[in-house]
Amino acid sequence: MSAQTMYEKIWNAHLVHQEDGQPALIYIDRHLIHEGTSPQAFAGLRAAGRKVRRPDLTFAVMDHSVSTKDRTLPVLDDNARAQFEALWRNCRETGVRLFDMHSRNQGIVHIIGPELGLTQPGLTIVCGDSHTSTHGAFGALAFGIGTSEIEHVLATQTLPQFKSKTMLIRVTGRRPPGVTAKDIILAIIRKIGVAGGTGHVIEYAGEGITALSMEGRMTVCNMSIEAGARAGMIAPDDTTYAWMEGRPFVPRGKDFQLAVDYWKTLPSDPGARYDTVVELEISQLAPQVTWGTTPGMVADVTGVVPDPASFADPVERKAAERALQYMALEPGTRITDIPIDRVFIGSCTNSRLEDLRLAARVVEGRKVARTVKQALVVPGSRVVKAQAEKEGLDRIFKAAGFEWRDAGCSMCIGMNDDVLPAGERCASTSNRNFEGRQGKGGRTHLVSPIMAAAAAIAGHFVDIRDWGVGQVE
Partner 1 sequence: MQPFRRHTGLVAPLDRVNVDTDQMIPKQFCKLLTREGYGRFLFYDWRYLPGEKPNPEFELNQPRYQGASILLTRANFGCGSSREHAPWGVADYGFRVLIAPSFADIFYNNCFKNGLLPITLPDEQVDELFRRTYAHEGYRLTVDLEQQTIADEQGLVLTFEIDPFRKYCLLNGLDDIGLTLQHEDKIRAFEEKHPVTPVQYDEVDMWSPERAAD
Residues 64-83 that bind partner 1 (CB under 8 A): 64-65, 77, 79-80, 82-83
- Cα 282 → chain centroid: 21
CB of 40 to partner 1, least distance (A): 5
Q: Cβ closer to partner 1: 230 or 425?
A: 230
Q: Cβ closer to partner 1: 122 or 470?
A: 122
CB of 238 to partner 1, least distance (A): 21
> Considering only residues 141-180, where is the footprint of partner 1 by CB under 8 A?
144-149, 151-152, 155-158, 160, 162
| Phi, psi (rounded to 5 degrees) for 449 | -60, -40
Q: Cβ closer to partner 1: 50 or 367?
A: 50
The span from the CA of 349 to the CA of 272, in Å, is 29
> Considering only residues 182-211, where is the footprint of partner 1 by CB under 8 A?
194-195, 198-199
Q: Cβ closer to partner 1: 108 or 250?
A: 250
The span from the CA of 235 to the CA of 83, in Å, is 37
Q: Does 348 bind partner 1 (CB under 8 A)?
A: no
CB of 360 to partner 1, least distance (A): 26
> Considering only residues 207-226, where is the footprint of partner 1 by CB under 8 A?
225
CB of 135 to partner 1, least distance (A): 14
Q: Cβ closer to partner 1: 36 or 178?
A: 36
> Considering only residues 256-295, where is the footprint of partner 1 by CB under 8 A?
294
> Considering only residues 106-145, where is the footprint of partner 1 by CB under 8 A?
106, 116-118, 123, 128-130, 144-145
Nearest Cα to 430, choosing from 369, 315, 351, 340? 351
In sequence order, what DSSP letters do the residues of 60-128 get, joined into one string?
Answer: EE--SS--SS-TTS----HHHHHHHHHHHHHHHHHT-EEE-TT-TT-B-HHHHHHHHT---TT-EEEES
Q: Cβ closer to partner 1: 41 or 179?
A: 41
DSSP code at position 206: S
> Considering only residues 230-259, where is the footprint of partner 1 by CB under 8 A?
230, 248-252
CB of 11 to partner 1, least distance (A): 14
The span from the CA of 309 to the CA of 321, in Å, is 9
Q: Does 91 bind partner 1 (CB under 8 A)?
A: yes
The span from the CA of 107 to the CA of 34, in Å, is 11
Dihedral sign of CA atoms 355, 359, 364, 367 in order: negative
Binding mask 364-403 for partner 1 (x = CB under 8 A): ----------------------------------------
Asked if 58 contacts 393 with a C-beta cutoff of 8 angstroms, the reply is no
Q: Cβ closer to partner 1: 339 or 441?
A: 441
Span of 212-220, 311-319, 328-336, 366-374 interacting with partner 1 by CB under 8 A: 311-319
Q: Does 333 bind partner 1 (CB under 8 A)?
A: no
The span from the CA of 363 to the CA of 359, in Å, is 7
Asked if 125 contacts 135 with a C-beta cutoff of 8 angstroms, the reply is yes
| Phi, psi (rounded to 5 degrees) for 96 | -75, 135
Q: Cβ closer to partner 1: 246 or 392?
A: 246
> With contacts defined by CB under 8 A, how many residues of the chain interact with partner 1?
91
Going by C-beta distance under 8 Å and a sequence separation of 6 or more, which residues neighbour residue 99? Answer: 59, 60, 61, 62, 105, 106, 107, 112
Q: Cβ closer to partner 1: 82 or 304?
A: 82
> Considering only residues 412-471, where is the footprint of partner 1 by CB under 8 A?
413-415, 432, 434-437, 440-441
Half-sphere exposure of 59 (CA within 13 A, CB side): 23
Number of Cβ within 10 Å of residue 117's Cβ equals 17
Single out the residue of 7, 11, 99, 204 in contact with partner 1 (rule: CB under 8 A). 99
Half-sphere exposure of 151 (CA within 13 A, CB side): 15
CB of 353 to partner 1, least distance (A): 18
Half-sphere exposure of 116 (CA within 13 A, CB side): 22
CB of 105 to partner 1, least distance (A): 5
The span from the CA of 100 to the CA of 107, in Å, is 9
Q: Cβ closer to partner 1: 75 or 179?
A: 75
CB of 368 to partner 1, least distance (A): 27
Half-sphere exposure of 203 (CA within 13 A, CB side): 29
CB of 332 to partner 1, least distance (A): 23
